[in-house]
Amino acid sequence: MSSHLAASATAYTLPPLWQMLSLFGYFVGLSAAIGATVTYAAVVRPALRIPGNEGGDVETLRRRSATSLAWAGVLLAVTAYFQLAARVAGSGKGMPFAVALEPGQIWAFLNAPAKPGNWVAEGTLFLLQNLIIVLTSALLIALFSPRARRRLDRLALTAFPLALAAAMIRLVPSAPFATTEALLNKVFVQAHIVSACMWLGGLALLVVLAGTRRSLSDRAGLLWADMWRRFGFVALTSVGTILISGLWLAWQHVGSIPQLWTTTYGLILLVKLTLVLGMIAAGAVNEFWLMPRIVLARQADPETSLVHLTLRHFPKVVWTEVALGVGVLTAITFFNGSARAEAGDVAPPVASGGMITVGIAFALTLAASLYATAKASDALARRWIVARAASATERPEAVSQGAG
């Protein structure tokens, strides 16, 4: 039996460089479009609309947001084209990537008839996806125009669901799913991608906006404290979805724990997991160390110390998360095949009813723990405020006793 499995093992092969670069670029473009629009809609825009947040700080952040979203549109359009060409090259035997870049080859791929047994052609789904991408990019690129920037909120809020649709359209199958596992795999893959794009793209937008700190007033600390707080919810939601979907995908591609260090796929996955854990650790620093201090500074000094925390310390940690996120995207491009295939594990993974029940229980437990994390951060901040108030009360008494 063991000799049979060894004979059926598939050796790892490094993907072609054009495939790795096009995939990396596509994820960068998708992160820029999804992460920036989601973060602007859920974090930046609500904070800018709070009464009291008016004047030059709001205008500065709106201008930088519009420019960032416009460049996100450029990135999405360019990287999506190269990724489409990569799919064309991958669909034809021996087709050079340079040939696949030709519009004629791409059009032929998009118009190819459906395979026997499929209810829709694969090219038709890619055509629809890329039409949505073109529309999303056009809306965002329009923000380079001063006239379009007057409608920043409308354009960003329209591009936001379109960017999500461009990614989620891959859930539409070209043929009936053969197994329940195939359906769940499709769902978890797209959830993993979208959540990672929300997290990484959102972080990138915020650190770019933080670059305006020299143009902001001391009152901007209050505004940024609110934005970091709001993004915490986006980050926690993304992390939860990434962990749940990642566990499913790891189970699909890795048959046993030893395969993590006995196969090339497993080693790449370990590198990716290490980088993701690094991002989560940096996020934990923000949640349990910086956020409570921001709340404390907001109570004590809403200007100088708050600006120092929100626009100097916080972005430094976030830049670390962005750098680690780029490392994650790089690691993803090295994936090819699976650890199961490399180890000769030919038996396909089957999800039993018991396993699905355990998975649902884990998801609920994780959601509860993330909610408790947010509450713990708030409780820690309140405790610091009470302790500081008590210290301030005791200090005058000590001084008076010493004088007596």
What residue spans define the domains of the chain? Answer: 9-388
Angle at which helix 291-300 crosses helix 220-253, to 10 degrees, equals 170
* C-alpha separations of 312 from 14, 138, 318, 326, 348 in Å: 41, 34, 10, 22, 50
Element (H, E) at 17: helix 17-39
Looking at residue 114, the DSSP 8-state letter turns out to be P
Q: What is the pLDDT of residue 229?
A: 83
Q: What is the pLDDT of residue 252?
A: 87
* C-alpha separations of 252 from 188, 263, 332, 349, 351 in Å: 11, 15, 16, 6, 10
Sign of CA dihedral 305, 311, 314, 317: negative
Looking at residue 332, the DSSP 8-state letter turns out to be H
Cβ atoms of residues 227 and 206 within 8 Å: yes
Ramachandran bin of 14, using left for φ above 0, alpha for ψ from -120 to 50, beta for the remaining angles? beta
Structure tokens at 148: 């379009």
Tens digit of pLDDT for each residue in 162-191?
999 998 888 888 877 777 778 888 888 999
Task: Tell which residue, 97, 31, 46, 107, has the closest CA to residue 233.
Answer: 46
Residues in contact with 193: Cβ distance below 8 Å, sequence separation at least 6, in sequence order? 27, 30, 167
Ramachandran bin of 48, using left for φ above 0, alpha for ψ from -120 to 50, beta for the remaining angles? alpha
Helices (H), 40-96: 45-48, 56-91
Task: Tell which residue, 275, 265, 266, 377, has the closest CA to residue 328.
Answer: 275
Q: What is the pLDDT of residue 378?
A: 55
Sign of CA dihedral 52, 70, 333, 207: negative
The residue whose two tokens read 């990434």 is: 242
Q: What is the pLDDT of residue 392?
A: 47
Q: How far apart are CA 232 and CA 321, in angstroms?
A: 13
Looking at residue 213, the DSSP 8-state letter turns out to be G
CB atoms within 10 A of CB 255: 21
Weakly modelled stretches of the chain, pLDDT under 50? 1-7, 381, 384-385, 388-389, 392, 396, 398-404
Structure tokens at 320: 């670390």
Q: How far apart are CA 288 and CA 126, in angstroms?
A: 43
* C-alpha separations of 14 from 144, 185, 269, 314 in Å: 40, 23, 14, 38
CA 353 from centroid of its chain's CA atoms: 30
Q: How far apart are CA 133 and CA 271, in angstroms?
A: 31
Structure tokens at 66: 């519009």
Structure tokens at 91: 């669909």
Helices (H), 211-289: 220-253, 259-262, 264-285
Q: What is the pLDDT of residue 44?
A: 93
Q: What is the pLDDT of residue 65?
A: 95
Q: How far apart are CA 97 and CA 179, in angstroms?
A: 33
The residue whose two tokens read 């205008």 is: 59
Q: What is the pLDDT of residue 200?
A: 94
Cβ atoms of residues 197 and 30 within 8 Å: yes
